[in-house]
Amino acid sequence: MAREASKARVAPDFFAAHLVSKLRGWSDCDLEYRGRLTHPMRYDPGTDCNEPVAWDEAFAGIGAALRGFQPDPVEFYPSGRASNEAAFLYQTLVGL
């Protein structure tokens, strides 16, 4: 929970300087200690980087992916550390 309350932030310039193929070698702890994302990001296989996208574009892409799933074989588990409020919002989103 302490990491979720961290004031540390990871801006797009961090991802511009770090290829995803290199970040895969970092430990979960090393990545988590960098901080929370300041922008929605999307992986670009052509550059091997996570690149910032607008919020509207990010939500549209997520919605399109979710609508493409067949409901029976899909399971969602956000985090055992999520607050009740976050879990409720997640349940509401998935139940749509």
pLDDT tens-digit series, residues 49-59: 999 999 999 99
pLDDT tens-digit series, residues 12-48: 999 999 999 999 999 999 998 999 899 999 999 999 9
**Annotated domain spans of the chain:** 1-53, 55-96
pTM of the complete model: 0.67
C-alpha pair distances (Å), 78 with each of 7, 46, 67, 86:
21, 29, 18, 9
Alpha-carbon dihedral sign for residues 30, 34, 44, 74: positive
Residues 68-78 have a mean pLDDT of: 74
pLDDT band at 2 (very low <50, low <70, confident <90, very high): low
Residue recorded with tokens 């979960």? 28
Pairwise pLDDT comparison (37 vs 90), residue with the higher score: 37
pLDDT at 49: 95
Nearest-angstrom CA–CA distance, 52 and 58? 9
